[in-house]
Amino acid sequence: MKAVILAGGLGTRLRPITINTPKTMVPVLNIPFLEYVIRRLSRHNVSEVVLALSHLPQPIEDYFGTGSRFGINLNDSLEETPLGTAGAVKNAERFLGKTFLVLNGDIFTDLDLTAMMDFHSNRESKVTIALTPVDDPTSYGLVETNVQGRVIRFLEKPSWSQVTTNMINAGTYILEPDVLSSIPPQTNFSFENEVFPPLLEQGKPIYAYPSHCYWMDIGTPEKYWRLNKDLLSGRSNQYHSVAQVVIGEQNNIHQTAKITGPVVVGNNCTLERNVRLSGPAVVGSNGKISEGAVVEDSIIWCAIDIGPGATIRRSIIANNCRLGAGSIVEDSVLGDNVTVAEGYKLEPDSRIWPGTRVG
The verdict on whether omega for the bond into residue 27 sits within 30 degrees of 0, i.e. cis, is no
Q: What is the distance between the alpha carbons of residues 279 and 298, in angstroms, rounded to a whole number?
A: 8
Q: Say whether 157 is catalytic.
A: yes
Q: Contact, 26 vs 32, CB < 8 A?
A: yes
- Tell the burial category of 101 from Cβ atoms under 10 Å away from its Cβ (0-12, 13-18, 19+): buried
Q: Contact, 55 vs 10, CB < 8 A?
A: yes
Q: What is the distance between the alpha carbons of residues 227 and 236, in angstroms, rounded to a whole number?
A: 9
The sheet carrying 328-330 orders its strands as: 258-260, 276-278, 294-296, 311-313, 328-330
* Identified catalytic residue from 90, 98, 157, 204: 157
Q: Are strands 141-145 and 215-217 parallel, antiparallel or unpaired?
A: unpaired
Q: What is the distance between the alpha carbons of residues 235 and 223, in angstroms, rounded to a whole number?
A: 14
Smallest CA-to-CA distance from 193 within 111, 87, 92 is with 87
Phi, psi of 109 (to 5 degrees): -150, 155
H helical segments located in 152-299: 196-201, 221-232
Instruction: Give the catalytic positions in this structure.
Output: 157
